[in-house]
């Protein structure tokens, strides 16, 4: 994909899926502004890796659940590069527990980052993209948002909500050449899934027709596809990247 001259903001971009997405966009020539919650060294490492691919990159600390911090993130991107062409809402957390034992604070924390954070970031770039008459927004949902998962009521709610917002905003912005799509990863090999119990991993792998966990690069390429110029006639869609898990 050719992203030369484009600027991308990637939330949760310091490691895992966010790092892979940042690198994929940088590989295509994009300027990358990535935000991170707390791991500054990982963020700087990702910046260096992006720049080694020939692009320009910038890391900004940002809690996406806070509107003032989101505004500062987008202002920094505009100051550095003059425009925002691509927004990838990847920042997300889990606080897993069965409903009967789930703490209200854990429900609030997950929805604040995963759902409200996506809302705030889309709201912060929508006007700029409409003015430009160009934009690509790609939101990270999950197969859990499509099908649910025991012990993840909060996470499932947040990721299902992301899909609803994606479809709604796609209708609002389509006439301005701004597309809004979602990617729904399945069982991907990341730090988040590494923390799962072995029994849960085995059960998930047995449900994947291709017979393996996904790689972060698998998701990053799907995001890059939806972020490209060539996919301007695709909007309001959810692309599952799950090895057939959700068939």
Which of the residues are catalytic?
Answer: 155
- Give the helix/strand (H/E) hosting 60: strand 57-61
Determine whether 176 is exposed, middle or buried from the number of CB atoms within 10 Å of its CB (0-12, 13-18, 19+).
middle
Nearest to 119 by CA among 77, 161, 78, 160: 161
- CA distance to 109, 205, 228, 231, per residue, from 152 (Å): 13, 18, 32, 32
Say which residues have a Cβ less than 8 Å from residue 190's Cβ, sequence separation at least 6.
16, 17, 216
- CA distance to 143, 146, 197, per residue, from 22 (Å): 22, 25, 29
Distance CA 247, CA 241 (A): 11
Beta bridge partners of 182: 139, 238
Distance CA 111, CA 107 (A): 6
């Amino acid at each position: 994909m050719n992203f030369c001259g484009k600027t991308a903001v990637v939330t949760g971009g310091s490691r895992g899926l966010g790092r892979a997405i940042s690198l994929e966009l940088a590989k295509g020539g994009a300027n990358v502004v990535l935000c991170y919650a707390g791991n500054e060294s990982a963020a700087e490492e990702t910046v260096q890796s992006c720049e080694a691919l020939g692009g320009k990159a910038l890391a900004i600390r940002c809690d996406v659940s806070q509107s003032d911090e989101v505004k500062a993130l987008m202002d920094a991107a505009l100051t550095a590069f003059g425009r925002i062409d691509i927004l990838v809402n990847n920042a997300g957390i889990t606080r897993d527990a069965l409903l009967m034992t789930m703490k209200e604070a854990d429900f609030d924390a997950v929805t604040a980052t995963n759902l409200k954070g996506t809302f705030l970031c889309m709201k912060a770039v929508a006007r700029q993209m409409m003015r430009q008459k160009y934009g690509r927004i790609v939101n990270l949902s999950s197969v859990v948002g499509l099908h649910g998962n025991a012990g993840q009521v909060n996470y499932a709610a947040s990721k299902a909500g992301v899909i609803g917002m994606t479809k709604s905003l796609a209708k609002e912005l389509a006439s301005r050449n701004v597309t809004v799509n979602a990617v729904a990863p399945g069982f991907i090999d990341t730090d988040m899934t590494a923390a799962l119990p072995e029994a849960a991993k085995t059960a998930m792998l047995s449900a994947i027709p291709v017979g393996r966990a996904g790689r972060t690069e698998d998701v990053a390429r799907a995001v890059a596809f939806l972020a490209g110029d060539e996919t301007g006639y695709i909007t309001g869609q959810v692309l599952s990247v799950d090895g057939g898990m959700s068939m």
